[in-house]
Amino acid sequence: MAFNGTIEDHVGRGGIRFDAGRHHKAKLGFVLLAMEQTIEEDMFRLAPDGVGVHFQRAPMANRVDVDTLASMASGIGDAAGLIVPEVQLDTICYACTSGSVVIGEDRVFAELNRGAPRAKPTSIISGVMRGLEALNARKIVVATPYVDPVNEIERRYMEERGFDVLHIEGLSIENDEDMVRVTPDYILQFAKQVDRPEAEAIFISCGALRSVEIIEALEQQTGKPVVTSNQAMMWDCLRLAGVHDKHDRYGRLFKDL
């Protein structure tokens, strides 16, 4: 018998009872870097009840620079095609901020569509920019773990899309394995250092950083909205999937929008 996707029970052959399963609100897919260690835990932390999060990894060297990020483009589509391939995903996301700006959203979306043609494609940087727009924040500062060439590409990318990047500063870390070990309290202090009085929001870039843990403290201490890569990615994926649940934690983006 046909199953219409609602949460009511249905009786199939042999009297077996079926419902919509644990993920009756939405199913989200994420393509990660091969060496990623932070995003999966953050997505489980941020996902509301009834939302499934599913992952696959694309090949990439541990060194995060322009060349290695650009080289992984074709692997995005291959990885997307392996995420619960017989199940309809609502949203498919490339979960790398720096990779999104180096490769570009158009190529990222084309690759995601190649692997998961029925899912709505997005990327971390897409979610970040939509989140900032929803917060009416155009004048921003950006804190990153990246080397300067990657920072410059990110700055230009966001400015070309209408944001005024007042200041961007990185930690000059090249290995993802080191990015995941930067302590949350250091991220908090670093973001405050990067902030400028005229900035309307603070963006902490990179899915590898444990930034979701300090969003509330940074907003309270600066009086400004804070957008982080993983927070914005989940918010964006949920909204694209038609899920509008809110969190009382993780910043104004999840509380108010």
**10 vs 111, more confident:** 111
Q: What is the pLDDT of residue 13?
A: 72
Question: How many residues comprise the chain?
Answer: 257
Burial (CB < 10 A; 0-12, 13-18, 19+), residue 85, is exposed
Q: What residues have CB less than 8 Å from 67, skipping those under 6 apart? A: none
Q: What percent of the chain has pLDDT over 90?
A: 91
pLDDT band per the 50, 70, 90 thresholds, residue 14: confident
**Entry pTM:** 0.94
**Architecture in CATH of 10-124+232-246:** 3-Layer(aba) Sandwich (3.40)
Q: What is the pLDDT of residue 38?
A: 98
Q: What is the pLDDT of residue 15?
A: 87
Per CATH, domain 127-228 is 2.40.240.10: no
Kindly tell me if the per-residue pLDDT of 255 is higher than 60: yes
22 within 8 A of 44, measured Cβ to Cβ: no
Domain parsing of the chain, residue ranges: 10-124+232-246, 127-228
pLDDT band per the 50, 70, 90 thresholds, residue 5: very low
